[in-house]
Structure 1
Amino acid sequence: MNANNNINYNYARKIILGTDTDKYKNLLPTISLLKSSVLVSISGALRIYIASLLLLAEISILNCLAGGLIVYAVYTLDRALESTEDVINRSELNGANKNLALFVCLVTFALGCCILTTNGLLFIALMPLVTGYLYSKGLSFGKLNLKLKGGLGIKNLVVGLTWGTFIASIAGVGLESFLPVLLVFFYYGSKLFINSAIYDFKDVKGDLMAGIKTLPVSFGEKNTRKLLLVLHIISHSLLIAAIAMHLLAFEPVVVLYSFFIGMLYIFRLTWNQENETTRGKIERLFLVDGEAGSILYLRAVITNLV
């Protein structure tokens, strides 16, 4: 009788105190997976807002929210599918509950699609998911295998083209003139190309083992830094020229902050970041993913002062 009582007591203690490791061992990786794309999704929503400001377009908070939901779904889905490089580059996600993550992705993506569909943007809503699948998994037609992953700089091009199109199309919906939307596409396409390359500097080991030819892997640190600087200067020069020609709104805070913060993180973060410290991670998140939030905060402060 005493033996049975001890067994029952130990079992109850495991459940109440959470010492049943088989039951709870994937809790922390799952939480890490679900929260890993929150900041980038908020940044995506704010970028749509900023793009609307530049285009002098009507700002739709619902469209910004929908864009953020789709960014979250696509990035979380990519991490949940666990590619070869992610096993190494994001080892903290190993063991996460992928089924739960996939369910959250489905819900957030469906919500984003429902909102954007009301504005005739279903194709734009679906585009990141389709492009992401073609990049990660590819399509096979007999002997022909269409897969984007692996080529030199393809990863960065896919990120830049996909999200540049996504942001500019949502922000510019309903506008009659195509040229301003094209300029915003180039600006954000370039910025996100650069940002994806910045993140590649901390993923060199995993990308090498997966056979992905990112810019730091193929060109080295110095040449990649030069390329990103040239692209950064060209995109902002076009932005300033477009504002001077009254093709885009006069937003000095957006342009100046974007230019100087971009120069700063290109010089600060284009070094091997494999052994990134906590301080380094916070700096990267603030400078890169927090850029859009910082722009809008600074703009609001200056507007109130003026």
Structure 2
Amino acid sequence: MSSNVFSGSLRSIFKHSRTANSSHYEKNATLELLKSSILVAFSGALRIHLAFLLLNIQSSMLTCVAGGLIIYTVYTLDRALESEEDSVNRKELNGSNKKVGLRVSLLAFVIGTYILAKEGAFELAFIPFVTGYLYSKGIKVGRLALKLKGGLGIKNIVVGLTWGIFIAGLAGRGYGNLVPVVMVFIFFGVKLFINSAIYDFKDIKGDTLAGIKTLPVSLGTRKTRNLLLAMHLLSHLIIGIALIHGILAFEPLIVLYSFVCGLICIQKFTNPGNEEFPSQKLERTFLVDGESTSIMGLRMVAGALIA
């Protein structure tokens, strides 16, 4: 065998190896993209169920599932529509097949919208979908450009308003009294504003490079922490008064756990974004994204003990 043939064979082997490794990496990154929003969607579905409980309305499982699918759509769509800061903040998604993410998210949206249409809440599906697109990509007509990402605290306000309206709207549609629905909106809107700001602390580096003026980037960690604490205390004070006066269903465990968990998260996870250890990431995921799951588990245990 000549040296040219031998070297050619080696090049072919290494090329095949690089191609195989690249394909394997893309599959893993694509899987991470598809998995990355599942916990958020599940948590969101449970928050809709909690909203039904606070309004003392029989919960609709189909509504909760549809809501979870819409939430999955919006967050997967945001991650599939590549952004500069995600290349730093979410390195595990680099190299993923964005087209697969777009197709799966749109399929989830179609299914979720179909269910909500059957439940009489068709229009609510489009509030987070349209807002999410305006946030991620924006629209441009001539010289006029509208994009919600970038301004001071805009991201957090968009998250709080969008999901507060979505959750309160799904649970409280057709409810005769608007005041309890507004209370539910305040409870979840403020909580999700705070949760999004907490995640901004770990994304300071990527957001700074992308020029996104999140609260920690613009105000600094101390002022942002104090703002979140004030919002947390005020919102839970309002909800506590609503519970005492019978405006909301008497669900003290939901509000108390939310209050304590929120205090822990603000204190523990509002430090500059250094590299997280796996145990720290798991703890943050459990306390922030897993809060509604924990509340439901505790409520079931408490109900069994009382019974």
TM-score range, shorter chain: over 0.9
Give the Å deviation of 1:273.
2.6
Task: Say whether residues 1:112 and 2:101 are aligned partners.
Answer: no
Aligned residues: 295
Aligned to 1:222: 222
Within 2, Cα distance between the matches of 1:256 and 1:47? 15
Task: Say whether residues 1:185 and 2:185 are aligned partners.
Answer: yes
Amino acid at match of 1:40: V
Aligned to 2:124: 124
Equivalent residues of 2:205, 2:273 under 8 A apart: no
Equivalent residues of 1:51, 1:168 under 8 A apart: yes
Aligned to 1:250: 250
Within 1, Cα distance between the matches of 2:301 and 2:119? 32
Aligned to 2:99: 99
Where do 4+ consecutive residues of structure 1 move more than 4 Å?
Answer: none
Aligned to 2:72: 72
Change (3 A) 1:55 1:88: same
Aligned to 2:275: 275
Give the Å deviation of 1:274.
3.1
- Give runs of aligned pairs for residues 131-280 of structure 1, distance below 5 A: 131-280=131-280
Give the Å deviation of 1:23.
3.4
Where 1:24 maps in the other structure, the secondary structure is: helix
Where 1:84 maps in the other structure, the secondary structure is: coil
Equivalent residues of 2:40, 2:72 under 8 A apart: yes
Aligned to 1:63: 63
Give the Å deviation of 1:245.
1.5
Equivalent residues of 2:243, 2:252 under 8 A apart: no
Give the Å deviation of 1:141.
2.8
Within 1, Cα distance between the matches of 2:258 and 2:23? 46
TM-score if structure 1 supplies the norm length?
A: 0.93
Question: Could you list the per-position Cα deviations for residues 190-240 of structure 1 after superposition, in whole angstroms to 9, with x for gaps in the alignment?
Answer: 000000000000000111111111010011111111000000011101101
Amino acid at match of 2:287: L
TM-score if structure 2 supplies the norm length?
A: 0.92
Question: Could you list the per-position Cα deviations for residues 233-260 of structure 1 after superposition, in whole angstroms to 9, with x for gaps in the alignment?
Answer: 1110110111112110000110110000
Equivalent residues of 2:202, 2:274 under 8 A apart: yes
Amino acid at match of 2:255: V
Within 2, Cα distance between the matches of 1:23 and 1:145? 37
Give the Å deviation of 1:72.
0.7
Question: Could you list the per-position Cα deviations for residues 114-153 of structure 1 after superposition, in whole angstroms to 9, with x for gaps in the alignment?
Answer: 0011122122101111001111222223222122111100
Within 1, Cα distance between the matches of 2:124 and 2:32? 28
Change (3 A) 1:260 1:104: same
Give the Å deviation of 1:19.
8.1
Within 2, Cα distance between the matches of 1:23 and 1:264? 42
Within 2, Cα distance between the matches of 1:239 and 1:163? 18
Within 1, Cα distance between the matches of 2:279 and 2:220? 24
Change (3 A) 1:247 1:155: same
Within 1, Cα distance between the matches of 2:195 and 2:22? 38
Amino acid at match of 2:27: L
Where 1:145 maps in the other structure, the secondary structure is: strand
Equivalent residues of 2:39, 2:289 under 8 A apart: yes
Name whichever of 89-98 and 271-280 sits farther off.
Answer: 271-280
Compute the RMSD of aligned alpha carbons.
1.7
Question: Could you list the per-position Cα deviations for residues 63-105 of structure 1 after superposition, in whole angstroms to 9, with x for gaps in the alignment?
Answer: 0000111111110110011111001100110001111111111
Amino acid at match of 1:65: V
Amino acid at match of 1:261: C
Task: Say whether residues 1:295 and 2:295 are aligned partners.
Answer: yes
Equivalent residues of 2:79, 2:86 under 8 A apart: yes
Equivalent residues of 1:201, 1:274 under 8 A apart: no
Equivalent residues of 1:204, 1:274 under 8 A apart: no
Equivalent residues of 2:65, 2:112 under 8 A apart: yes
5+ residue gaps, structure 1, are: none
